[in-house]
Structure 1
Amino acid sequence: MPNQAFRCFVDNVLNDNIGKRVVRFEYSGQVYWLKQAEKLTGAMRFLKPNSKKSIQIEIDTLKKLALKGAPVPTLMYCGDHFLVIADVGKTLNEWMANANIESNTQQQILVDSGVALAKLHTLGLAHGRPALRDISWQDGQVSFIDFEASQNNKSIIYQQRRDILVYIHSLYRYLGPKHESIKPVIMAYRHAGGDNIWQEAKKWITPWQCLYFVLYCLKDVGGKDLRPIYWLLWHFRQTK
Protein backbone atom coordinates (compact mmCIF):
# COMPACT_ATOMS: atom_id res chain seq x y z
CA MET A 1 0.00 0.00 0.00
CA PRO A 2 1.29 3.51 -0.82
CA ASN A 3 1.91 5.83 2.08
CA GLN A 4 -0.48 8.63 2.94
CA ALA A 5 1.76 11.31 1.44
CA PHE A 6 1.82 9.54 -1.92
CA ARG A 7 -1.96 9.03 -1.90
CA CYS A 8 -2.52 12.70 -1.13
CA PHE A 9 -0.15 13.70 -3.92
CA VAL A 10 -2.02 11.49 -6.41
CA ASP A 11 -5.36 12.89 -5.25
CA ASN A 12 -4.06 16.38 -6.05
CA VAL A 13 -2.88 15.21 -9.48
CA LEU A 14 -6.36 13.78 -10.09
CA ASN A 15 -8.03 17.05 -9.09
CA ASP A 16 -5.72 19.03 -11.35
CA ASN A 17 -6.26 16.76 -14.35
CA ILE A 18 -9.95 15.93 -14.37
CA GLY A 19 -10.91 14.34 -17.67
CA LYS A 20 -7.36 13.69 -18.85
CA ARG A 21 -6.91 10.07 -19.92
CA VAL A 22 -3.20 9.66 -19.10
CA VAL A 23 -1.00 11.94 -16.99
CA ARG A 24 2.74 11.69 -16.33
CA PHE A 25 3.96 13.00 -12.99
CA GLU A 26 6.99 12.83 -10.72
CA TYR A 27 7.14 12.13 -7.02
CA SER A 28 10.33 12.00 -4.94
CA GLY A 29 12.44 11.86 -8.09
CA GLN A 30 10.51 8.93 -9.62
CA VAL A 31 8.23 8.98 -12.66
CA TYR A 32 4.69 7.60 -12.48
CA TRP A 33 1.70 7.40 -14.81
CA LEU A 34 -1.88 8.12 -13.85
CA LYS A 35 -4.53 6.56 -16.05
CA GLN A 36 -8.18 7.49 -15.65
CA ALA A 37 -11.36 5.95 -16.97
CA GLU A 38 -12.22 7.43 -20.33
CA LYS A 39 -15.02 9.99 -20.20
CA LEU A 40 -17.43 9.02 -22.96
CA THR A 41 -19.84 11.47 -24.51
CA GLY A 42 -22.66 11.26 -27.01
CA ALA A 43 -23.01 8.06 -28.99
CA MET A 44 -19.65 6.76 -27.71
CA ARG A 45 -21.35 5.97 -24.40
CA PHE A 46 -23.26 3.24 -26.25
CA LEU A 47 -20.56 2.16 -28.71
CA LYS A 48 -17.77 1.60 -26.17
CA PRO A 49 -17.76 -0.65 -23.12
CA ASN A 50 -18.13 0.78 -19.62
CA SER A 51 -14.94 2.78 -19.05
CA LYS A 52 -14.81 2.19 -15.28
CA LYS A 53 -15.18 -1.53 -15.90
CA SER A 54 -12.27 -1.37 -18.36
CA ILE A 55 -10.06 0.27 -15.73
CA GLN A 56 -11.01 -2.40 -13.19
CA ILE A 57 -10.17 -5.14 -15.69
CA GLU A 58 -6.73 -3.59 -16.14
CA ILE A 59 -6.22 -3.27 -12.38
CA ASP A 60 -7.27 -6.86 -11.74
CA THR A 61 -5.08 -8.10 -14.59
CA LEU A 62 -2.01 -6.22 -13.35
CA LYS A 63 -2.47 -7.69 -9.87
CA LYS A 64 -2.93 -11.22 -11.19
CA LEU A 65 0.06 -11.02 -13.53
CA ALA A 66 2.32 -9.53 -10.86
CA LEU A 67 1.49 -12.41 -8.52
CA LYS A 68 2.54 -14.84 -11.25
CA GLY A 69 5.84 -13.08 -11.84
CA ALA A 70 4.93 -11.55 -15.19
CA PRO A 71 6.90 -8.51 -16.44
CA VAL A 72 4.36 -5.78 -15.72
CA PRO A 73 4.61 -2.31 -14.16
CA THR A 74 4.20 -2.00 -10.41
CA LEU A 75 0.67 -0.95 -9.52
CA MET A 76 1.21 1.82 -6.99
CA TYR A 77 -2.30 3.04 -6.24
CA CYS A 78 -5.79 2.61 -7.70
CA GLY A 79 -9.44 3.51 -7.25
CA ASP A 80 -12.73 2.78 -8.97
CA HIS A 81 -11.89 5.06 -11.92
CA PHE A 82 -8.08 5.33 -11.99
CA LEU A 83 -4.78 3.55 -11.52
CA VAL A 84 -1.19 4.67 -10.98
CA ILE A 85 1.78 2.64 -12.19
CA ALA A 86 5.52 3.14 -11.90
CA ASP A 87 7.30 4.23 -15.07
CA VAL A 88 8.89 1.36 -17.01
CA GLY A 89 10.56 3.30 -19.80
CA LYS A 90 9.67 4.25 -23.34
CA THR A 91 7.43 2.07 -25.44
CA LEU A 92 8.96 0.08 -28.29
CA ASN A 93 7.44 2.27 -31.00
CA GLU A 94 9.10 5.27 -29.33
CA TRP A 95 12.45 3.48 -29.24
CA MET A 96 12.12 2.58 -32.93
CA ALA A 97 11.26 6.17 -33.88
CA ASN A 98 14.28 7.60 -32.02
CA ALA A 99 16.87 8.43 -34.66
CA ASN A 100 19.51 8.94 -31.96
CA ILE A 101 19.45 5.27 -30.95
CA GLU A 102 21.94 2.99 -32.71
CA SER A 103 20.42 0.30 -34.90
CA ASN A 104 22.13 -2.44 -32.89
CA THR A 105 20.48 -1.15 -29.72
CA GLN A 106 17.08 -0.98 -31.42
CA GLN A 107 17.53 -4.54 -32.62
CA GLN A 108 18.37 -5.74 -29.12
CA ILE A 109 15.31 -3.99 -27.72
CA LEU A 110 13.11 -5.83 -30.21
CA VAL A 111 14.77 -9.17 -29.49
CA ASP A 112 14.30 -8.59 -25.75
CA SER A 113 10.59 -8.00 -26.36
CA GLY A 114 10.25 -11.25 -28.32
CA VAL A 115 11.88 -13.21 -25.50
CA ALA A 116 9.68 -11.47 -22.91
CA LEU A 117 6.51 -12.32 -24.84
CA ALA A 118 7.57 -15.97 -25.00
CA LYS A 119 8.23 -15.99 -21.26
CA LEU A 120 4.79 -14.47 -20.64
CA HIS A 121 3.30 -17.28 -22.68
CA THR A 122 5.31 -19.99 -20.92
CA LEU A 123 3.79 -18.74 -17.66
CA GLY A 124 0.42 -19.68 -19.14
CA LEU A 125 -0.54 -16.01 -19.60
CA ALA A 126 -1.47 -13.70 -22.46
CA HIS A 127 -1.49 -9.95 -23.00
CA GLY A 128 -4.41 -9.44 -25.36
CA ARG A 129 -2.83 -6.81 -27.61
CA PRO A 130 0.98 -6.81 -27.48
CA ALA A 131 1.52 -4.11 -30.09
CA LEU A 132 4.81 -2.19 -29.89
CA ARG A 133 3.01 0.73 -28.27
CA ASP A 134 1.97 -1.56 -25.42
CA ILE A 135 5.44 -2.88 -24.61
CA SER A 136 8.03 -0.86 -22.70
CA TRP A 137 11.79 -1.30 -22.39
CA GLN A 138 14.20 0.18 -19.88
CA ASP A 139 17.78 -0.88 -19.13
CA GLY A 140 17.26 -4.32 -20.64
CA GLN A 141 13.96 -4.92 -18.85
CA VAL A 142 10.75 -5.41 -20.85
CA SER A 143 7.33 -4.63 -19.36
CA PHE A 144 3.87 -5.12 -20.82
CA ILE A 145 1.36 -2.33 -20.35
CA ASP A 146 -2.30 -1.56 -21.15
CA PHE A 147 -4.24 -4.73 -20.35
CA GLU A 148 -7.77 -3.41 -20.90
CA ALA A 149 -8.60 -6.00 -23.56
CA SER A 150 -10.27 -8.96 -21.85
CA GLN A 151 -10.46 -12.38 -23.47
CA ASN A 152 -11.28 -14.43 -20.41
CA ASN A 153 -13.97 -16.28 -22.35
CA LYS A 154 -11.34 -17.62 -24.78
CA SER A 155 -8.92 -20.49 -24.31
CA ILE A 156 -5.33 -19.62 -23.42
CA ILE A 157 -4.14 -21.07 -26.75
CA TYR A 158 -6.52 -18.74 -28.57
CA GLN A 159 -5.27 -15.76 -26.55
CA GLN A 160 -1.60 -16.56 -27.02
CA ARG A 161 -2.06 -17.25 -30.73
CA ARG A 162 -3.76 -13.89 -31.09
CA ASP A 163 -0.89 -12.30 -29.15
CA ILE A 164 1.77 -13.48 -31.60
CA LEU A 165 -0.32 -12.46 -34.61
CA VAL A 166 -0.87 -8.97 -33.18
CA TYR A 167 2.82 -8.75 -32.27
CA ILE A 168 4.07 -9.67 -35.75
CA HIS A 169 1.51 -7.36 -37.37
CA SER A 170 2.75 -4.54 -35.14
CA LEU A 171 6.39 -5.21 -36.04
CA TYR A 172 5.56 -4.75 -39.72
CA ARG A 173 3.32 -1.78 -38.95
CA TYR A 174 6.08 0.20 -37.29
CA LEU A 175 9.15 -1.13 -39.09
CA GLY A 176 7.76 -1.83 -42.56
CA PRO A 177 9.07 -4.88 -44.48
CA LYS A 178 12.44 -4.90 -42.74
CA HIS A 179 12.66 -8.69 -42.72
CA GLU A 180 16.33 -8.67 -41.72
CA SER A 181 15.31 -6.94 -38.47
CA ILE A 182 12.02 -8.73 -37.85
CA LYS A 183 13.07 -12.33 -38.52
CA PRO A 184 15.58 -12.49 -35.59
CA VAL A 185 12.90 -11.11 -33.27
CA ILE A 186 10.40 -13.84 -34.16
CA MET A 187 13.12 -16.48 -33.93
CA ALA A 188 14.00 -15.18 -30.46
CA TYR A 189 10.36 -15.61 -29.46
CA ARG A 190 10.28 -19.16 -30.83
CA HIS A 191 13.57 -20.19 -29.23
CA ALA A 192 12.54 -18.77 -25.84
CA GLY A 193 9.57 -21.12 -25.58
CA GLY A 194 7.06 -19.71 -28.05
CA ASP A 195 7.50 -22.12 -30.95
CA ASN A 196 4.33 -24.12 -30.22
CA ILE A 197 2.24 -20.95 -30.23
CA TRP A 198 3.95 -19.75 -33.42
CA GLN A 199 3.09 -23.10 -35.04
CA GLU A 200 -0.51 -22.75 -33.86
CA ALA A 201 -0.64 -19.30 -35.44
CA LYS A 202 0.79 -20.62 -38.70
CA LYS A 203 -1.82 -23.39 -38.76
CA TRP A 204 -4.65 -20.95 -37.98
CA ILE A 205 -3.64 -18.44 -40.63
CA THR A 206 -3.19 -20.98 -43.44
CA PRO A 207 -6.84 -20.79 -44.65
CA TRP A 208 -6.46 -17.00 -44.85
CA GLN A 209 -3.50 -17.24 -47.22
CA CYS A 210 -6.01 -16.90 -50.06
CA LEU A 211 -5.87 -13.17 -49.28
CA TYR A 212 -2.14 -13.05 -49.98
CA PHE A 213 -2.46 -12.37 -53.71
CA VAL A 214 -5.41 -10.04 -53.20
CA LEU A 215 -3.39 -7.90 -50.80
CA TYR A 216 -0.25 -8.01 -52.94
CA CYS A 217 -1.49 -5.04 -54.97
CA LEU A 218 -2.01 -3.06 -51.78
CA LYS A 219 1.25 -3.88 -50.00
CA ASP A 220 2.77 -0.51 -50.93
CA VAL A 221 -0.32 1.67 -51.04
CA GLY A 222 -2.67 0.25 -48.40
CA GLY A 223 -3.28 1.90 -45.05
CA LYS A 224 -0.96 1.52 -42.07
CA ASP A 225 -3.07 -1.36 -40.72
CA LEU A 226 -3.76 -3.05 -44.06
CA ARG A 227 -0.19 -3.22 -45.39
CA PRO A 228 1.10 -5.23 -42.40
CA ILE A 229 -1.55 -7.90 -43.02
CA TYR A 230 0.13 -8.69 -46.34
CA TRP A 231 3.54 -8.96 -44.66
CA LEU A 232 2.05 -11.03 -41.84
CA LEU A 233 0.79 -13.52 -44.43
CA TRP A 234 4.16 -13.31 -46.20
CA HIS A 235 5.99 -14.14 -42.97
CA PHE A 236 4.09 -17.38 -42.44
CA ARG A 237 4.39 -18.35 -46.11
CA GLN A 238 8.16 -17.91 -46.05
CA THR A 239 9.01 -19.33 -42.64
CA LYS A 240 8.95 -22.92 -41.39
Structure 2
Amino acid sequence: MKGIIEAFLRAPQRVAQANWQGQVIWLKKFMPKGRFGFVTLRDLIARSNRNPLYFSTEARGPEQISGEIKRLRLLRSRGVHVPEVLAHGEQWLVMSDHGASLRALIEDTTLSEHQRLRLLQDAASALAQLHKRGMWHGRPALRDLTWDGEQIGFVDFEEDVGKKLSIEQCQVRDVLVLLHNITRYSTFSTWSTEQVVRYCEQAYKREAPEAIWQQAVRVVNSMWLLYFLLWLTQPVSGKDGRAALRMLRFMTSQRRRILRRALFYLTLVGQLLLLNRLLDI
Protein backbone atom coordinates (compact mmCIF):
# COMPACT_ATOMS: atom_id res chain seq x y z
CA MET A 1 0.00 0.00 0.00
CA LYS A 2 2.94 2.34 0.65
CA GLY A 3 3.72 2.71 -3.05
CA ILE A 4 0.07 3.45 -3.88
CA ILE A 5 -0.08 6.16 -1.20
CA GLU A 6 3.17 7.79 -2.31
CA ALA A 7 2.01 7.91 -5.94
CA PHE A 8 -1.33 9.36 -4.88
CA LEU A 9 0.26 12.10 -2.78
CA ARG A 10 2.25 13.21 -5.84
CA ALA A 11 -0.83 13.21 -8.09
CA PRO A 12 -3.06 16.29 -8.55
CA GLN A 13 -6.30 14.44 -7.68
CA ARG A 14 -7.90 15.00 -4.30
CA VAL A 15 -9.71 11.64 -4.31
CA ALA A 16 -8.65 8.49 -6.17
CA GLN A 17 -9.59 4.85 -6.50
CA ALA A 18 -7.00 2.05 -6.48
CA ASN A 19 -6.68 -1.73 -6.23
CA TRP A 20 -4.77 -3.22 -3.33
CA GLN A 21 -4.47 -6.93 -2.60
CA GLY A 22 -7.48 -7.70 -4.77
CA GLN A 23 -9.78 -5.12 -3.20
CA VAL A 24 -10.89 -1.65 -4.22
CA ILE A 25 -9.70 1.15 -1.93
CA TRP A 26 -10.22 4.92 -1.90
CA LEU A 27 -7.57 7.51 -1.14
CA LYS A 28 -8.29 11.07 -0.08
CA LYS A 29 -6.06 14.00 0.84
CA PHE A 30 -6.37 17.55 2.04
CA MET A 31 -6.22 20.23 -0.66
CA PRO A 32 -7.12 23.90 -0.05
CA LYS A 33 -10.39 24.81 -1.77
CA GLY A 34 -9.91 28.55 -1.91
CA ARG A 35 -13.49 29.41 -0.89
CA PHE A 36 -12.83 31.49 2.22
CA GLY A 37 -14.66 34.54 0.86
CA PHE A 38 -17.75 32.48 -0.02
CA VAL A 39 -17.70 30.80 3.41
CA THR A 40 -17.45 34.17 5.18
CA LEU A 41 -20.36 35.54 3.11
CA ARG A 42 -22.53 32.56 4.07
CA ASP A 43 -21.76 33.14 7.76
CA LEU A 44 -22.71 36.82 7.46
CA ILE A 45 -26.02 35.86 5.82
CA ALA A 46 -26.66 33.35 8.60
CA ARG A 47 -26.10 35.96 11.31
CA SER A 48 -28.24 38.57 9.56
CA ASN A 49 -31.11 36.07 9.11
CA ARG A 50 -30.66 34.46 12.55
CA ASN A 51 -30.90 31.12 10.80
CA PRO A 52 -28.06 28.76 11.78
CA LEU A 53 -28.80 26.48 8.82
CA TYR A 54 -27.19 29.06 6.51
CA PHE A 55 -23.86 28.77 8.35
CA SER A 56 -20.94 27.33 6.40
CA THR A 57 -19.87 24.07 8.02
CA GLU A 58 -16.96 23.06 5.83
CA ALA A 59 -13.91 22.23 7.91
CA ARG A 60 -10.93 24.37 7.01
CA GLY A 61 -7.33 23.27 6.80
CA PRO A 62 -5.91 19.76 7.37
CA GLU A 63 -8.52 19.15 10.10
CA GLN A 64 -10.80 18.18 7.20
CA ILE A 65 -9.02 14.82 7.18
CA SER A 66 -8.57 14.35 10.94
CA GLY A 67 -12.19 15.29 11.58
CA GLU A 68 -13.42 12.86 8.94
CA ILE A 69 -11.33 10.03 10.40
CA LYS A 70 -12.79 10.63 13.86
CA ARG A 71 -16.36 10.63 12.57
CA LEU A 72 -15.86 7.52 10.44
CA ARG A 73 -14.48 5.60 13.39
CA LEU A 74 -17.16 6.85 15.77
CA LEU A 75 -20.03 6.02 13.43
CA ARG A 76 -18.57 2.63 12.53
CA SER A 77 -18.20 1.78 16.23
CA ARG A 78 -21.92 2.51 16.62
CA GLY A 79 -22.91 0.19 13.81
CA VAL A 80 -23.48 2.79 11.10
CA HIS A 81 -22.66 1.57 7.58
CA VAL A 82 -19.60 3.69 6.72
CA PRO A 83 -16.21 2.84 5.16
CA GLU A 84 -13.39 1.39 7.25
CA VAL A 85 -10.30 3.57 7.68
CA LEU A 86 -7.44 1.33 6.47
CA ALA A 87 -4.58 3.80 6.87
CA HIS A 88 -4.07 7.51 7.40
CA GLY A 89 -1.56 10.28 7.82
CA GLU A 90 -1.80 13.88 8.93
CA GLN A 91 -3.29 15.02 5.61
CA TRP A 92 -4.52 11.83 3.93
CA LEU A 93 -6.53 8.68 4.53
CA VAL A 94 -7.26 5.36 2.85
CA MET A 95 -10.73 3.81 3.09
CA SER A 96 -12.42 0.60 2.04
CA ASP A 97 -14.78 0.65 -0.93
CA HIS A 98 -18.42 1.16 -0.03
CA GLY A 99 -20.38 0.49 -3.20
CA ALA A 100 -21.78 2.66 -5.97
CA SER A 101 -22.99 6.20 -5.28
CA LEU A 102 -26.73 6.76 -5.34
CA ARG A 103 -26.19 9.68 -7.71
CA ALA A 104 -24.78 7.26 -10.31
CA LEU A 105 -27.42 4.62 -9.64
CA ILE A 106 -30.48 6.84 -10.07
CA GLU A 107 -29.05 8.03 -13.39
CA ASP A 108 -28.44 4.43 -14.50
CA THR A 109 -31.10 3.68 -17.12
CA THR A 110 -30.33 -0.07 -16.98
CA LEU A 111 -32.20 -0.06 -13.66
CA SER A 112 -35.98 0.12 -13.75
CA GLU A 113 -37.70 3.24 -12.44
CA HIS A 114 -39.17 1.18 -9.59
CA GLN A 115 -35.66 0.06 -8.59
CA ARG A 116 -34.36 3.62 -8.64
CA LEU A 117 -37.31 4.93 -6.64
CA ARG A 118 -36.78 2.15 -4.10
CA LEU A 119 -33.15 3.22 -3.69
CA LEU A 120 -34.22 6.80 -2.94
CA GLN A 121 -36.80 5.58 -0.43
CA ASP A 122 -34.18 3.34 1.20
CA ALA A 123 -31.85 6.35 1.42
CA ALA A 124 -34.53 8.42 3.17
CA SER A 125 -35.21 5.52 5.53
CA ALA A 126 -31.48 5.03 6.29
CA LEU A 127 -31.11 8.73 7.09
CA ALA A 128 -34.18 8.55 9.36
CA GLN A 129 -32.69 5.60 11.24
CA LEU A 130 -29.45 7.55 11.69
CA HIS A 131 -31.45 10.47 13.13
CA LYS A 132 -33.46 8.17 15.37
CA ARG A 133 -30.20 7.15 17.01
CA GLY A 134 -29.26 10.77 17.69
CA MET A 135 -26.69 11.05 14.88
CA TRP A 136 -26.43 12.95 11.60
CA HIS A 137 -24.44 13.00 8.37
CA GLY A 138 -23.79 16.67 7.67
CA ARG A 139 -24.31 16.75 3.91
CA PRO A 140 -26.18 13.67 2.66
CA ALA A 141 -26.06 14.54 -1.02
CA LEU A 142 -26.80 11.59 -3.30
CA ARG A 143 -23.13 11.36 -4.26
CA ASP A 144 -22.33 10.83 -0.55
CA LEU A 145 -24.77 7.93 -0.14
CA THR A 146 -23.89 4.47 -1.42
CA TRP A 147 -25.46 1.10 -2.19
CA ASP A 148 -23.38 -2.07 -1.90
CA GLY A 149 -26.10 -4.41 -3.07
CA GLU A 150 -27.46 -4.94 0.44
CA GLN A 151 -27.79 -1.65 2.27
CA ILE A 152 -27.42 2.11 2.06
CA GLY A 153 -24.13 3.50 3.31
CA PHE A 154 -22.71 6.94 4.06
CA VAL A 155 -19.43 8.51 2.91
CA ASP A 156 -17.69 11.90 2.96
CA PHE A 157 -17.83 13.49 6.41
CA GLU A 158 -15.87 16.71 5.81
CA GLU A 159 -18.78 18.97 6.78
CA ASP A 160 -18.04 20.06 10.34
CA VAL A 161 -21.73 20.54 11.18
CA GLY A 162 -21.69 19.68 14.88
CA LYS A 163 -19.41 22.60 15.78
CA LYS A 164 -21.99 25.22 14.78
CA LEU A 165 -25.37 23.49 14.98
CA SER A 166 -27.33 21.57 17.59
CA ILE A 167 -28.17 17.91 16.96
CA GLU A 168 -31.70 18.87 15.85
CA GLN A 169 -30.38 21.53 13.49
CA CYS A 170 -27.87 19.05 12.02
CA GLN A 171 -30.67 16.60 11.36
CA VAL A 172 -32.98 19.24 9.86
CA ARG A 173 -30.14 20.29 7.57
CA ASP A 174 -29.70 16.64 6.54
CA VAL A 175 -33.37 16.44 5.56
CA LEU A 176 -33.21 19.59 3.44
CA VAL A 177 -29.98 18.56 1.69
CA LEU A 178 -31.31 15.10 0.83
CA LEU A 179 -34.66 16.39 -0.47
CA HIS A 180 -32.92 19.07 -2.51
CA ASN A 181 -30.73 16.42 -4.14
CA ILE A 182 -33.70 14.16 -4.82
CA THR A 183 -35.51 17.11 -6.42
CA ARG A 184 -32.40 18.05 -8.41
CA TYR A 185 -31.52 14.66 -9.86
CA SER A 186 -34.80 12.72 -10.07
CA THR A 187 -35.88 12.20 -13.68
CA PHE A 188 -38.75 9.73 -13.79
CA SER A 189 -41.43 9.29 -16.43
CA THR A 190 -43.73 7.25 -14.19
CA TRP A 191 -43.97 9.83 -11.39
CA SER A 192 -43.61 13.58 -11.14
CA THR A 193 -40.71 14.99 -9.11
CA GLU A 194 -43.16 16.06 -6.40
CA GLN A 195 -44.53 12.51 -6.17
CA VAL A 196 -40.99 11.12 -5.81
CA VAL A 197 -40.25 13.64 -3.05
CA ARG A 198 -43.52 12.69 -1.30
CA TYR A 199 -42.67 8.98 -1.42
CA CYS A 200 -39.25 9.73 0.09
CA GLU A 201 -40.83 12.01 2.68
CA GLN A 202 -43.14 9.17 3.74
CA ALA A 203 -40.20 6.74 3.97
CA TYR A 204 -38.31 9.22 6.16
CA LYS A 205 -41.27 9.99 8.43
CA ARG A 206 -41.96 6.29 9.08
CA GLU A 207 -38.57 5.92 10.79
CA ALA A 208 -37.52 9.39 11.98
CA PRO A 209 -38.35 11.29 15.19
CA GLU A 210 -41.54 13.21 14.44
CA ALA A 211 -40.12 16.46 15.78
CA ILE A 212 -37.37 16.59 13.13
CA TRP A 213 -39.75 16.64 10.17
CA GLN A 214 -41.98 19.20 11.87
CA GLN A 215 -38.98 21.42 12.55
CA ALA A 216 -37.80 21.04 8.94
CA VAL A 217 -41.18 22.30 7.72
CA ARG A 218 -41.02 25.24 10.17
CA VAL A 219 -37.55 26.15 8.89
CA VAL A 220 -38.74 26.04 5.27
CA ASN A 221 -41.71 28.26 6.11
CA SER A 222 -39.31 30.77 7.67
CA MET A 223 -37.22 31.00 4.50
CA TRP A 224 -39.60 33.46 2.82
CA LEU A 225 -36.83 35.75 1.57
CA LEU A 226 -34.84 32.89 0.01
CA TYR A 227 -38.04 31.53 -1.56
CA PHE A 228 -38.86 34.91 -3.06
CA LEU A 229 -35.34 35.47 -4.40
CA LEU A 230 -35.28 32.03 -6.00
CA TRP A 231 -38.72 32.63 -7.49
CA LEU A 232 -37.59 36.01 -8.82
CA THR A 233 -34.36 34.70 -10.37
CA GLN A 234 -35.63 31.44 -11.89
CA PRO A 235 -34.36 32.20 -15.43
CA VAL A 236 -30.76 32.64 -14.22
CA SER A 237 -30.57 30.62 -11.00
CA GLY A 238 -29.35 27.41 -12.62
CA LYS A 239 -30.41 23.83 -11.94
CA ASP A 240 -29.48 23.93 -8.24
CA GLY A 241 -31.43 27.14 -7.68
CA ARG A 242 -34.51 25.89 -9.50
CA ALA A 243 -34.33 22.58 -7.61
CA ALA A 244 -34.14 24.50 -4.32
CA LEU A 245 -37.24 26.51 -5.29
CA ARG A 246 -39.19 23.37 -6.17
CA MET A 247 -38.11 21.65 -2.95
CA LEU A 248 -39.26 24.64 -0.91
CA ARG A 249 -42.57 24.61 -2.80
CA PHE A 250 -43.08 20.93 -2.06
CA MET A 251 -42.44 21.41 1.66
CA THR A 252 -44.01 24.76 2.45
CA SER A 253 -47.64 24.99 3.50
CA GLN A 254 -47.68 28.80 3.25
CA ARG A 255 -46.54 29.51 -0.31
CA ARG A 256 -48.90 32.43 -0.96
CA ARG A 257 -48.23 34.01 2.43
CA ILE A 258 -44.50 33.86 1.75
CA LEU A 259 -44.82 35.63 -1.60
CA ARG A 260 -47.21 38.24 -0.15
CA ARG A 261 -44.80 38.92 2.68
CA ALA A 262 -41.84 39.23 0.32
CA LEU A 263 -43.77 41.56 -2.01
CA PHE A 264 -44.85 43.67 0.97
CA TYR A 265 -41.24 44.19 2.09
CA LEU A 266 -40.09 44.82 -1.46
CA THR A 267 -42.82 47.44 -1.91
CA LEU A 268 -41.91 48.99 1.44
CA VAL A 269 -38.24 49.27 0.48
CA GLY A 270 -39.25 50.82 -2.86
CA GLN A 271 -41.43 53.40 -1.13
CA LEU A 272 -38.65 54.29 1.31
CA LEU A 273 -36.18 54.74 -1.54
CA LEU A 274 -38.67 56.91 -3.41
CA LEU A 275 -39.34 58.99 -0.29
CA ASN A 276 -35.62 59.44 0.25
CA ARG A 277 -35.23 60.60 -3.35
CA LEU A 278 -38.08 63.11 -3.00
CA LEU A 279 -36.58 64.52 0.21
CA ASP A 280 -33.28 65.06 -1.58
CA ILE A 281 -34.92 67.13 -4.32
Q: 2:244 corresponds to which residue? A: 229
Contact 1:113 1:142 in 2 (8 A): yes
Q: 1:152 corresponds to which residue? A: 162
Structure of higher CA gyration radius: 2
Q: Deviations over 1:39-77 (max 9, x none)?
A: 56xxx3865864311111111111111112222111111
Q: Deviations over 1:162-195 (max 9, x none)?
A: 1101111111111266122221112101101243
Normalising by the residue count of structure 1, what TM-score does the alignment of the two structures yield?
A: 0.85
Q: How many percent identity over aligned positions?
A: 31
Counterpart CA distance in 2 for 1:61 and 1:212 is: 33
Counterpart CA distance in 2 for 1:156 and 1:46 is: 25
Aligned partner letter, 2:108? N
2:143 to 130, 133, 141: 133
Counterpart CA distance in 1 for 2:228 and 2:166 is: 31
In structure 2, the CA distance between the partners of 1:172 and 1:218, relative to structure 1 (3 Å rule), is farther
Q: Are 1:22 and 2:15 an aligned pair?
A: yes
Q: 2:5 corresponds to which residue? A: 11
**Offset of residue 207 of structure 1:** 2.1
User: CA-atom RMSD, angstroms?
Assistant: 2.5
Aligned partner letter, 1:185? C
Q: 1:104 corresponds to which residue? A: 114
In structure 2, the CA distance between the partners of 1:219 and 1:189, relative to structure 1 (3 Å rule), is farther
Q: 1:63 corresponds to which residue? A: 73
Structure 1 unmatched runs, 5+: 1-5
Name the stretch that deviates more: 201-210 or 24-33: 201-210
Question: In the comparison of the two structures, how many residue pairs are matched?
Answer: 229
**Offset of residue 143 of structure 1:** 1.1
Higher helix share: 2
Q: Deviations over 1:185-220 (max 9, x none)?
A: 121011012432111111122122465466446557
Structure 2 unmatched runs, 5+: 40-58, 255-281
